[in-house]
Amino acid sequence: MRPWPSPTALLPHGPAARAVDAIVEFTPGALLGARLEVRPALGLFDPARGGIPAWAGIEIMAQVAGLYLGMTRHATGRTHPQDGYLLGARRFEAGVALFPAGAGLLIHAHCLAVTARGAGRFDCHIMSAGKEQATAELIIAYATDQGQET
């Protein structure tokens, strides 16, 4: 496995809000894969249900797409985590109602397009136990429209 930066170096989220444990794959111009173990310490975790509701998969996928953009910035020497926003979600589908505690998730964000200003469109998938559990197409952008460090 390649020594990619930690998600903490690329996402401005605090520990409870971060929904990615590690980057497991990165191909510039193509995709980023990450993993997450579902556990009670995560901010998305619903203790009453014993897991993360599937609708929160949009946030998980958005963070992985954000990591893709962060890796792209990191490769150009811009290593400060940049705030980003989910601008849109299309065709969200979930085959489960809940990602249960202890589940290992593999999340992929396939880059469909990136603008010069740092916005990207991604085809995202969440897998668990070898099965696709959720999908969506997301549009992510940085807080500044110039892609500059803040």
CATH number for the domain harbouring residue 40: 3.10.129.10
20 domain-assigned: yes
150 domain-assigned: no
**What integer pLDDT is reported at residue 78 of this predicted model?**
64
**Stronger pLDDT, 141 or 25, i.e. the higher one:** 25
Mean pLDDT rounded to a whole number for the chain: 86
**What integer pLDDT is reported at residue 79 of this predicted model?**
60
148 domain-assigned: no
Express each pLDDT in 28-83 by its tens digit: 889 999 999 999 999 999 999 999 999 999 999 999 998 888 887 766 666 665 66
**And the tokens for 150?**
């803040």
> 112 is in which domain, residue-wise?
7-142
Q: Which residues contact 46 (CB under 8 A, 6 or more apart)?
A: 52, 53, 98
149 domain-assigned: no
Give the count of domains, the chain: 1
Look up residue 46 and give its DSSP letter.
Answer: B
Whole-structure pTM value: 0.88
